[in-house]
Structure 1
Amino acid sequence: MHSRRGTTSSRRSLRALALLSAALFPLMAWATPAAAHGSIIDPASRNYGCWERWGSDHLNPDMAQEDPMCWQAWQDNPNAMWNWNGLYRDNVGGDHQAAVPDGQLCSGGRTEGGRYDSLDAVGPWTTTDVDAGAFSVHLYDQASHGADYFRVYVTEQGFDPETQALGWNDLELIRQTGSYAPSQNITVTGLSAPGRSGHHVVYTIWQASHMDQAYYLCSDVNFV
């Protein structure tokens, strides 16, 4: 016959294991894709920034007032943040404008079954202060895919990310690079956006080298 004490102890152990598993789930959900892909982390892409600021506190209701665009993104699909490094499309063949319609640039054309749709939302996304005269974009590429090229665009002066959906005609291509050897950290330097001030979007296309895989990354900046 089993003792009551032994049964209670077993239940407590199972409950503790369940609580531990629940606590670790977000970390596991993040860790799995992190071994495979990457994103622009400076100036932070929209979903990377939301993960960086709120990943350890993503249920905090204060986010709704302090960081409303991240709040709506977490409410829409938390996996957009846990998988901050998976915003890509395969087999685009370089025809990015055909693959990614106007109004869907920040979600990569609603890629991954719509996981990243919240990133297209119009509103006051948190910005990173950037010198319009000289800035860089820093890619974290944990799997060291390398790059066939980067295309870096900046929104035109007069475009308002807080009231307007982003389209291709709102962007100016300021740099297309050559290839980069595989590395976990790649920085595209020597960028400038003359005549810009205030809230803009830096839009980066990273064409990875390991296969035909293109990443579409919106970073909100405050040009100073």
Structure 2
Amino acid sequence: MRRLAASLAVAVLTAVGIVAVGQPAAAHGAEVFPGSRQYLCWVDGQSASGALDPSNPACASALAVSGSGAYYNWFGNLDSNGAGRTEGYIPDGTICSGGDRGPYDFSAFNAPRTDWPTTHLTAGATYEFQHNNWAQHPGRFDVYVTRAGFDPTKPLGWSDLELIDSVTNPPDTGGPGSDNYYYWDVTLPADRTGRHIVFTHWVRSDSTENFYSCSDVAFDGGNGEVTGIGDGGSVPVDPPVDPPVDPPAACPDDAPGTPLGGVTATAITATKAHIMWGAGTTGCVTGYDVIDAATGDVLASTDGIPMIDVTGLQPGTTYELAVQARNDNTGAVSDPTDTVTFTTLAEDAGPGDDAACTATFSAVSSWSGGYQGEIVVTAGDAGVDGWHVVADGITTSNVWGGEIAGGVVTPAAWNATLGAGQSTTVGFVGTGVAPADGELVCS
């Protein structure tokens, strides 16, 4: 078994003269060995000035097409309602981006090219696969490899892929605070030669959120060397380092750089929103604050993870938020990012004719570890054009008649508008123990 370290980013950042800033830009996660397109392009794009300057032509094209968001948020290639779905849900040609349903634009990483950064491997060998885990989630990793005869100049389709490995809740090297990762052994097919793609699908068990990584590999007898980044040469990965070495500490007096890559708001309810952003790339960053752009008030803070649930918001209120980086050694803060604007959901008016809508949950059937549930939404006397139901604590593996993500139920296109007294049903297969039947908040 070939054990290889996920220390590539540290080596490359040191080579280009960048002082590490608190922790690298990592949150939910992506495949780091074999390195995914979004991860290795982020590594390739680093420069001493902090600006993105990829030398790899495929990475440079992805930056031009999709913008910097996919770079600074390389860990955020996700679909909040993926729910383990593959063929028939994610169209051919968009597999690497997970169907283009996430908060950041990863569409350019679907391009069928032969010049992406490449990890060189030996067919039939066993490797330790590594997937970044800054924000730790339970779940399953499914590993696919393109079939023998795959043509890398054509769009990737599901018929090209063979599922070769699946692992649930693998061990990790640690939580937030370093280049930590989940790891498990994968034996690669012995009949592959030439260029191929390894597709890794991370299926969370505590949410419908899924993550996607395409890694370009060459089966040529290699031992994990990476080519196509930096000056176009090979980046050695031996000798192995386990656990990964922490980046060198930034000078305590360095001013924190402004977080990069854009701010997004998802999973919005009446009182809460999930905020994500790209990590800073210069100076000394020990944490981040989410601030009200109008007042400068700090609404939430993290110790280095570029995401947080902002709670205690007011229902039916429009917010304009930004993020600033902190250096807690000096008390300095960075300039704020560009803002993200969103409106929280209105509170339910309560059962009766004055409510915009009402919703009830019931368990249709249950079994060990799961159940089938239904949420029935009924419009009030005025009807409703678009509705939301708060369903905290519900996690699903399959949904029909709508979507369930981040504790919020939303309609499909065909049942978003309901006339007075009309009802619609969202069905799903839930994981864990079914909650008690009863009313839910609808607005």
Give the TM-score band, short-chain normalised.
Answer: 0.7 to 0.9
Superposed counterparts of 1:104-115, under 5 Å? 104-112=94-102, 115=105
Q: Please say if 1:144 is aligned against 2:133.
A: no
1:156 positional shift: 0.9
| Pairing partner for 1:202 from 191, 198, 215 | 198
Which residue pairs with 1:102 in the alignment?
92
SS state at 1:169 partner: helix
Greater per-residue helix proportion: 1
Letter in 2 for 1:44: G
Say whether 1:187 aligns with 2:179.
no
Residue-by-residue CA offset, 1:116-144 (whole Å, 9 max, x unaligned):
00001111212111122122321111012
Task: Look up the match of 1:160.
Answer: 151
Match of 1:78 among 28, 51, 68: 68
Greater length-normalized contact order (CA 8 Å, ≥ 6 residues apart): 1
Local SS of the residue matching 2:75: coil
TM-score, structure 1 as length reference: 0.76
The structural deviation recorded for 1:95 is 2.1
Aligned residue type for 1:41: V
Contact 1:73 1:119 in 2 (8 A): yes
1:171 partner amino acid: L
Task: Determine which structure has the larger strand proportion and give its number.
Answer: 2
**Counterparts of 2:75 and 2:35, CA distance in 1:** 12
Q: Deviations over 1:69-121 (max 9, x none)?
A: 10101112111111100011122332222331100001110122560000011
Distance 2:104 2:28 in 1: 18
Bigger mean CA deviation after superposition, 206-215 or 96-105:
206-215
TM-score normalised by length of structure 2 = 0.40
Deviates more, 1:176-185 or 1:163-172: 176-185
Classify 1:37/1:114 alpha carbon distance in 2 versus 1 (closer, same or farther; 3 Å): closer
**Given the superposition, is the C-alpha separation of residues 211 and 195 from structure 1 closer, same or farther in structure 2, using an over 3 Å criterion?**
same
Whether contact under 8 Å (2:42, 2:71) holds in the other structure is yes
State the alpha-carbon separation in 2 of the partners of residues 59 and 126 from structure 1: 16
Task: Name the CA distance, whole Å, in 2 between partners of 1:193 and 1:111.
Answer: 31
**SS of residue paired to 1:85:** helix
**Unaligned residue ranges in structure 1 (runs of 5+):** 1-26
The structure-2 alpha-carbon separation of the partners of 1:112 and 1:131, relative to structure 1 and needing over 3 Å to count, comes to same
Output the CA distance in 2 between the equivalents of 1:210 and 1:181.
17
- Residue 65 (structure 2) pairs with residue 69 (structure 1): no
| Distance in 1 of aligned mates of 2:70 and 2:80 | 18
Select the structure of larger CA radius of gyration: 2
Q: How many residues align?
A: 188
Corresponding residue for residue 24 of structure 1: none
Residues of 2 paired with 1:159 and 1:43: CA distance?
18
Secondary structure of 2:96's match? coil
Letter of the aligned partner of 1:79 in structure 2?
Answer: G
Partner secondary structure for residue 206 of structure 1: strand
Letter in 2 for 1:208: R
Indicate conservation of the 8 Å contact 1:87/1:111, yes or no: no
Once the two structures are superposed, residues 27-58 of structure 1 have per-residue CA deviations (whole angstroms, 9 ceiling, x without a partner) of: 89x84xx3x31110111110100001222266
Residue 211 (structure 2) aligns with: 215
Give the letter aligned to residue 198 of structure 1.
G
Aligned-residue sequence identity (percent) comes to 37
SS in structure 2 of the partner of residue 96 of structure 1 = coil
1:55 equivalent to 2:19? Answer no
For structure 2, the 5+ residue unaligned runs are: 1-20, 176-180, 221-443
1:192 is aligned with what amino acid? L
Instruction: Spell out the pairing of 1:27-38 with structure 2 (5 A cutoff).
Output: 31=25, 34=26, 36-38=27-29
Distance 1:200 1:174 in 2: 14
Q: Tell me what 1:132 maps to.
A: 123
Q: Structure 2 vs 1, CA of residues 92 and 206 (structure 1 numbering), >3 Å: closer, same or farther?
A: same
Give yes or no for contact 1:202–1:219 (8 Å, CA) kept in 2.
yes
Large movers: runs of 4+ above 6 Å: none
C-alpha spacing 1:222/1:89, structure 2 compared with 1 (3 Å): same
